[in-house]
A and B are shown apart, each in its own frame.
Chain A
Amino acid sequence: MDVRVCEVTTKFGRSALSSAVLLAAVFVLASAYTATGGSSRDLLVDEMLTNLMLVVGMQVFIGNTGVLSFGHMAFAQVAAYATAVVAIPVVEKTKALPDLPFGLADVHFGPAGSTAFAIAVTLVVGATIGIVICRASGLAPTMITLAALFVVDQLVKNWKELTRGAGGLSGIPQQSVLWLWGGALVALVVAHVFQEARIGRFAIATREDALAAPALGIRLFTSRYAAWVVSMGVIALAGSLRAQSLGSVNPKQFTLDSGILILVMLVVGGMRSLSGAVLGAVLITAGTELFRQLGDPQRLDIERFPDVFLGGTMLLVMLLRPDGLLGDRDFGGWLRRRMTRRSDVTTVAPVSTGAALEATDITVRFGGFVALDGAGIRVGPGEIVGLIGPNGAGKTTLFNVITGLVEQQRGRIRLGDLDLSEATPVEVARAGLARTFQNLRLFNNLTVRENVALSALVAERHRSHRPPVNIDELLEDAGLAEFAHRRAATLDYGNQRRLELARATALAPEFLLLDEPTSGMSDTESLAMVDRARAAAARIGAGVLVIDHDLGFITRISHHIVVFSEGRMLAEGSPADVRANPLVAAAYLGSQA
């Protein structure tokens, strides 16, 4: 069988297995609960299953992208009403909604049709609003989702021709609990598949570091948007099935408060983990019910005790375990790691394309400060060029200009025949420049191997003209094989630096741009780094441009050294030449002495 087909089948099978195991656990708990009490207990199980679907829907977006949304309930609301207007039989519908627009008056679908219709409507609405949400950054997406929630809420209350206002709609044919179990299974499988899929991995990378992901060729918008759309689909399923389980819809079902309830489930369980989402849904649904029974119906505080429980639980979890009860522990993830086999790709160094990296006449001003003043640099194919200079010489600024993070006022950047002068970080990375960062930017909550595997995934998709790399060989080169399944955040400083190198290498770039790869390392470690960086570059046939303060490291590793001072090139030449140059001694070594 084709390797790719085989891989897709494995991913799907794994997702289905994880989902089934999680849901089976829930089923055992639910059966034990309903078997010991009256039929009112069935209602709680219904509630828990819809909650579970909603949490899973939120997890797909919030958990994978790290962007907080208060507005998911708005879309569940849209789906619930979309279900109502097509699922209620025509006769009753004409009575309740005599002026129903869009020619919906005579439409009537069965349960499957209504669900499909609701998902379609929600996807159209959600995907449109999602464009704005996924383009925004910082706090903006959260505020926009909040706006969406209020707008939908007011539309539902006021667009009476379609929704009958505050009273809501009833008479939706009620479906059995089997639909809810089925829906929960579908939701879990979809969410697991998304986490396994390439685009899902990319979304997770943007969550972990929104600057490092683009520098590896991952587009923030595309991956976030994919997560948003999938999340909308699951939320719509949940909203529609909830309406069909209750038999009615009203504006009070999907409010900010109910959204926060779901959010609490997500953060209590651990938002990065799907197992956590399931755990949260079960725990919070049960806890809320328990506290509801503490309330005194006479004093009307029946809703208040659950509120104390929710607020208190959320506060305690935030203070004591901000990553949630499970953190990164996830059944699906565990299964994936267990099933990871050693990569059997043989890395072959590609035939050199002969492309050189050239930056010429670069000028950058920050306000009145001239960081770069007509500076330039050239790195030939397979060449290792060291860039040194005192603090403020403009070394990192040059890196940032080349990789598209800082815009130059003048000057051109070329990679072979390719003009990268105006390129974005994503385009630069895909064109074949991979960088590391001075102040480490790893995907902290992912394992060492997953960090490297992510760049390999980008390479597979966007740099397929280069031969594939063997992740495990790269890890061995970097001396990280024994830590492959540790979280990146738990590594010591030197290993984190080596991991950044391995991650950049896995992109199979034409050039590696290393920003102070030995900073914070001991002398022996930085000596070893010479060999590691050389080995990594040789394995993928890449040239290297490296900045460092450690003159010993730079002279050992470089074929050619360029010295910057005050935004300009001061000198260049072989390591020996540069050492002998009195200008360099004065500007650079002198200032160090």
Chain B
Amino acid sequence: MSTLPRPSTIFLAAITTLVAVLLYSPLFVPIVSSFFIISHGNVDWSSPTLSTYVALAGNHDILAALRTTLVVGVCTVILSVVSGTLLALYYHGRHSGRSILQFIIFLPFLMPPIISGLALLIFFREIGLERSLLTVVIGHTVFVLAIVYRTVLMRLQSMSRTLVEASYDLGANGWQTFWRIILPNLSSAMVGGAILAFALSFDETMITILVTGTQSTLPVRLWAMMRLGFSPDINALVALILMFTVLLCVLAARFLIPRQMATERN
């Protein structure tokens, strides 16, 4: 950067700041306003309060939605981590048909969620599966599978092939090699993938609306609340979800940085 003349540096800094403010300031508005009371459609800036959060804690609909979200998230994580890891292992050891498998896994993630949701909805109706939390879990798993798969596969590909060879060379069989060498080296990628999968499942709205039965998840609940107009608890809820999601992403990043780099930095 020092090679650039000073005026250009200032100009670039100004542009960067402007873009950052435009992109990220909307995120802070609900957080800030969640600490104030809204009366007659206007925010009353005079007295900060936590009352919206207290009201949220007493809202049984929200709490039920939160519980549903957590159940769906945990089930989705388990299903997607197990199947994503198995698919990555299969893909890694194979030479033919790779790109087709890859394409199929990524399709639901890349398609507009409404298309994926509708496809799933039609499919569930055809096979006579009632809409319920089960269908939501299936929908989420199909959606987030690509993330877990990709994360695990990348770790697998960066793992030196000689680790596996060394294990066999030292007398281990395939089973021992898998449990004692391959899996421990994948574990941080699996945890990172699981956290990302949970964050995606936590936020997912479109597919959930289409395939859920009577129970709603938190984002769906939020969607329903917004139709009745903005209320202070929406700000509080958005602020909480935002913070939780950021926390998950930070955690995921921690697990996805290769271990060796982390150790060398210390």
Is chain B found bound to chain A in the same assembly?
no
